[in-house]
Amino acid sequence: MLMQGFGNFLSLLSLALTLFCAYAFFDSLFRREDAYRAADKKTKPFWAVILGLALAVALIFGIGPMPFLSIIGLIAAIVYVVDVRPALKQVTGGGRRRGGSSSDGPYGPYNGGR
Burial class (CB in 10 A: 0-12, 13-18, 19+), 85: buried
Q: What pLDDT does residue 8 have?
A: 86
pLDDT tens, N- to C-terminus, the chain (114 residues): 777 887 788 888 889 999 999 999 999 999 999 999 999 999 999 999 999 999 999 998 877 777 888 899 999 999 999 999 999 999 888 755 555 556 566 666 666 665
Q: Would the CA dihedral through 55, 58, 61, 65 be positive or negative?
A: positive
- Give the per-residue pLDDT at 9: 85
pLDDT the model gives residue 3: 77
User: What integer pLDDT is reported at residue 13 of this predicted model?
Assistant: 87
Amino acid at 89: K
